Each structure stands twice: as structure tokens, then as C-alpha cells.
Amino acid sequence: MDSRLRRMAIAASLGVILLVSLLVVYTNQEKDRRKTYSSYTQTTTGQTAGQQVASNTTTEVSRYEQVVQNGQIGNDLKAFLQDNTFFDPVENKVLEAAKSLKKQLSLMITSVEKDLRVQIVDAEGALVAGESFYVSLAGLGEYKDLDQDGIIYIGDLDSGEYNIKLLPISGYQVPETETKVQVKQKVEYVPISDISLLIKTEDEVDPKVEDTGEQGALDDADNTEIQQLQKPGGTTKAGIDVSKWNKEIDWDKVKNAGIEFAIIRAGYRGSSTGALVEDPYFRANIKGATASGLKVGVYFFTQAVNEVEAVEEASAVLNMIKEYKLDYPIFIDTEGAGGNGRADGLNAETRTLVCEAFCRTIENAGYKAGVYASRNWYNNALKTQRLNDYYIWLAEYRSTPLYQGYYKMWQYTSKGQVDGINGNVDLNIAYE
């Protein structure tokens, strides 16, 4: 072999040796890195090298057994978030930024009439509950979130401009500057844009305590009550109204039974705490009824004690139905709540103001509004003549209603039977 070939062979051999060496070094580094990421051991002061090795070995065996048995480390699927060695340095910065953003708070503030409702929300716009937040209202002092639901309500304020500030709280970043807010002099019957934060599910309340509405028409029923489904012709329509009490419904069977429309409960205000609660069957019912070709409307059981709360209730319904098309009005259902309801003791003037505020807010949003009540309620608990511009829905369980006022829909029984619904259901006639 000449010298030129010999030099080329030596160079090639050296190249192969260098490549192998680099692969070995990389492999060892990768093993060390993975061992660092997976290790949950801590160096204890005073341990010998042998004790440390034994400790590491025991820990690794224990960890391996956990992985084999559970498919994870322990029972916490988010445990890796607490391991600062799990992510690369750049990824750690991103993670810390995300955590920091989650802890940034802001205020969503609404005024309806001489009041402020301050909602403390995180970066995603969700209410932050479980903390004792304080806000400072310039010139008036500090107000606390007493029930730790993320909402501070301040009433009995003079109208005008105020400065409000969320006070510092451990573990969170609060706005550094004050927020200017305008307290309204008079209710404007305009839907509240951020009302969704106040709407609860039944999982968040005690339905046995909150959902206690009673059908006042039962007190006036007699032995002439019509319990069979009436199928009127011409301009009159046969319908039902339903809520969670009717449970699952086969809407195709309902349609085939001759039902032409359904008034569906969207929700209710709790008769004890006043919470705004969505009916757990609302979405299934309105989707099912619409898909089966029925015309639909909705109602909301009120326990509002003033116009401000009526605007809240109307706003809640408008938020719930925004994805759906309605053919019938949005009704406020005004009746008793067992005698202990927060609105049971209202006088006729206040109760009428509540109904007017609800209906005006609904109409200002572009929908038809209506009122549901029993004959006795219309005659004795409301100033009904002020409500005649709205769609009146009468509940009276007699063959011929005794009510002498104007109405466009008649609920004639709560003991009807319709194919597709298990148990009794309310039956109605609409005069169109």
C-alpha cells in the first residue's frame, strides 16, 4: 500500500472511532438526563456515597412499581407540573407565564339602579370563588366578599361616578390602578352583558330548598277540570309546558300525539338564596322540541323582590336562549313558593313592577314578553291592567275560565296525559 492510500485509511479509521465516541458520549448524556428527569430523590446532608446510592436505588424501584401498577406516578395526573426538572428551561418559562396569567385578577362591574355588582374574575373571565376579597370604594370604605363566591354587591348608592379598587390578596396579582364606574340613577331595562357569571347549575345549589314553586291554579280547580288533550282547530293551537319535573321526553311521540307547541322552563330564581339557576332539562327539551318540529317558547320562575332582580332574571333567560329560535314569548312565571319564598310577601304594586321590568327588558332585546299566573293571582296579587300589553298566559283548571280579563293562552289542567311523556303534564290552548 502506498503512502497516499495509507494516509486515507488511517483518516477513515480515525473518523469511525470519533463517530463511535460521540455516539457513546451522547447516549450516556441522554441516560443521565432522563435519570435526572425521573429521579425523585433528594440528597440528604451527612449521607455517605453508599447510602445515597442505596437510597436512589430504593426510590427508583418504588417509582417503577408505581408506574407498573398505576400507569402513572401516584394518583396525581398533574404531578409533573410540580417537578421543575420535567421541562426544559424555555418550557419552564412558558409554564410559569401561564400560571402567572391564571393568577391575574380583574373586575367586571355592573350597575342597574343605585348599586354596583363587582365580580372578581381570572384571566379567562371565570369567577374566582373561595377567597375573602375586599374592594375599596373611594370615600365610602371597604367591602368584603362575605360568602366567598367572587361577587361583592353594594347597594343604596347615590348615582354618579366612583373609583373602585381590588385590594391586594396573597397569591394573586390585582390591578394596580383604580377603576372608574358609573352608578345608574334608574333602572334602564337593558340586558346585563356579564350575567352568565351569575347563572348556576343545580349541582351548585340545593334544589329541594331553592326550587319550591307551587301551582296556584290547583287551589282554584274544581270537578269540571278538563284533563283530556284538547285539539282545537282554526287559529287555536294545542300545547304543553314542561320542566325538569317531566324528566326525559320523547319529542317525536309528543308531536305525533297532536301537540303543536311547547313552553319550556329555562330556569328559576332560588326561593331561599335568590340564586339564578338553569333548569337541568332546559337544553335537552328545547333542542328536542325544536328538532321534532314543534314551536317553542320559554318561561322563568321568578322570585325577584325588586326591579333590579327582575332585570337580572330577564338577562339570565336571554343568555340561556341566545342559541335558539323562539316562536312564542319569554314568560315570567309569577306564583307562590310555598309561603316561605323570598318573594311570597310582595304587595301587588311591587310584584307588578317586577313583571313590568322583566317584560320591558325582554322586549328591549327584541323578543316577545309574557306573564304567567293563576286567576286568583291576576285578580289579587297583581295590577293586571298594567300588564295587558304583554302576552297573558292564564292558569285556571275549570272547563270554562271564570277569569274576566284578557288572555291569549290558557293552561287548563296539570293532569294531562300525552304520549312520549311519563306521568302528568300541563296542557294548554293558545289563541292565535
Return the CATH number at 221: 3.20.20.80
Both 64 and 109 in one domain: the answer is no
Both 232 and 176 in one domain: the answer is no
**SS3 readout for the chain:** CCHHHHHHHHHHHHHHHHHHHHHHHHHHHHHHHHHHHHCCCCCCCCCCHHHHHHHHHHHHHHHHHHHHHHCCCCCCCCHHHHCCCCCCHHHHHHHHHHHHHHCECEEEEECCCCCEEEEEECCCCCECCCCCCEEEECCCEEEECCCCCCEEEECCCCCEEEEEEECCCCCCECCCCCEEEEECCCCCCCCCCCHHHHEECHHHCCHHHHCCCCCHHHHHCCCCCCCCCCCCCCCEEEEEEECHHHCCCCHHHHHHCCCCEEEEEEEEECCCCCCEEECCCHHHHHHHHHHCCCEEEEEEECCCCCHHHHHHHHHHHHHHCCCCCCCCCEEEECCCCCCCCCCCCCCHHHHHHHHHHHHHHHHHCCCCEEEEEEHHHHHHCCCHHHHCCCEEEEECCCCCCCCCCCCCEEEEEEEECCCCCCCCEEEEEEEC
Whether 91 is covered by a domain: the verdict is no
How high is the mean pLDDT of the chain? 84
Determine the structural domain holding residue 165 and report its residue range.
102-183
Both 25 and 52 in one domain: the answer is yes
Count of structural domains, the chain: 3
Both 253 and 374 in one domain: the answer is yes
Both 11 and 142 in one domain: the answer is no
For residue 58, pLDDT over 50 is answered with no
Higher confidence at residue 93 or residue 283?
A: 283
Whether 315 is covered by a domain: the verdict is yes
| Residue finishing a domain among 80, 114, 136 | 80
pTM to 2 decimal places:
0.74
Whether 86 is covered by a domain: the verdict is no
| CATH code of the domain containing 148 | 2.60.40
Whether 285 is covered by a domain: the verdict is yes
What are the pLDDT digits (tens) for 188-246? 999 998 899 999 999 999 999 999 988 777 777 788 999 999 988 889 999 999 999 99
Q: What is the pLDDT of residue 12?
A: 54
What are the pLDDT digits (tens) for 308-357? 999 999 999 999 999 999 999 999 999 999 888 999 999 999 999 999 99
Both 122 and 54 in one domain: the answer is no
Whether 96 is covered by a domain: the verdict is no
Higher confidence at residue 397 or residue 65?
A: 397
Both 215 and 173 in one domain: the answer is no
Both 26 and 144 in one domain: the answer is no
Q: What is the pLDDT of residue 82?
A: 62
Both 115 and 264 in one domain: the answer is no
